[in-house]
Structures are given as structure tokens and as C-alpha cells.
Amino acid sequence: MQPENLAYALAQVVHNFGAVAVVGGAAFALWAGASSSRREAGLARLVGLGWAVQLASGTGLGAVSYYYYGRLPELHPVALAALDIKIGCAVAGLAVALRFLYRAESWNEGRRKLAWQALTALGAAALAAAAFLRWFS
């Protein structure tokens, strides 16, 4: 087993679970409905943690490349645009989740729903961009 493949695989495992957390957590809150503000806060924590994990593990994948080859991946312009979208979604998703955690108590139901819609859309956009990043490189 090549150690670099193991390193890539472990970073990818973390990245995949992060993707599940950001999309699944937001979609669950939106469609299944959060029965209490405590449960909503728990889901916001999960989604926020998921986005932080996405940023860290994405950086980790680049770091593995740099460690083993001394260079970063070379990306086609389409893949580069997809990567920019993913990073933008992660930063925005983390910001919305943190804002939800600290401010949602004073928000009305409509505003909280809007936040979950935004988080679901950001997760879906990042997931779609990931496919273009994978196959246009």
C-alpha cells in the first residue's frame, strides 16, 4: 500500500462525512422540521462543524499532494471555478451556521427557515461543484 494513497483516502473519508453533515443536517432541519430551538441549535452546530471539516479536509487533500510531490494539483479552468465555488460555499455556510447559533433566538420562524434554505442551497451547490472538480481536472 502506498502511504500517499492512504493519506489521500483518510482525508477523503473526513471530507465525505463533512459533506453528509452539511447537506443532511440542513436538509433535515428544513424538511423534517426542527421540533425545538434546542434541536435546531444542535443541527446548526452539526452543519457548522461540517463546513469547518470541509475546509480543513479540503486543505488536507492539497497538503498531501504538496507533502508527497512538492506541488499542488494542476486544475483545468472549469475545475478551478468549481473549487472556487466550493470554497465560497464553505465560508458562507460556516458564517450562516455560526450566525444561526449566536443570533437565532431572536429570529422569527420565517428568518430561521430562510437560514436553513440558504444552508441547504450552499450544501447542494458545493456537492454539485465537487463533481465538476473531480471530472474536469
Partner 1 sequence: MARAAFLLSASLSLLPGVALAAAEEPGVRITAPVDGARLDGMDLTRLVYEVRPGPKGDHVHVYVGGKEIGILRQLKGSYTLEPLPAGAQDLCIKVVNKAHVPIGVEQCVKVVVE
Residues binding partner 1: what is the number (CB under 8 A)? 18
With CB under 8 A as the contact rule, the residue among 28, 55, 56, 73 that binds partner 1 is: 73
With CB under 8 A as the contact rule, the residue among 56, 75, 98, 125 that binds partner 1 is: 75
- State the amino acid at position 107 in one-letter form: W
**For residues 93-132, which are near partner 1 according to CB under 8 A?**
none
**For residues 15-34, which are near partner 1 according to CB under 8 A?**
none
Residue 72 φ then ψ, to 5°: -95, 165
With CB under 8 A as the contact rule, the residue among 36, 38, 71, 108 that binds partner 1 is: 71
Reading the block at residue 122, the C-alpha cell is 450552499
DSSP state of 106: G
Categorise residue 33: left if φ over 0, alpha if ψ from -120 to 50, beta otherwise.
Answer: left
Give the three-class secondary structure for 100: helix
Q: Give the residues lining the site for partner 1 (CB under 8 A).
A: 2, 4, 8, 61, 64-65, 68-69, 71-77, 79, 136-137
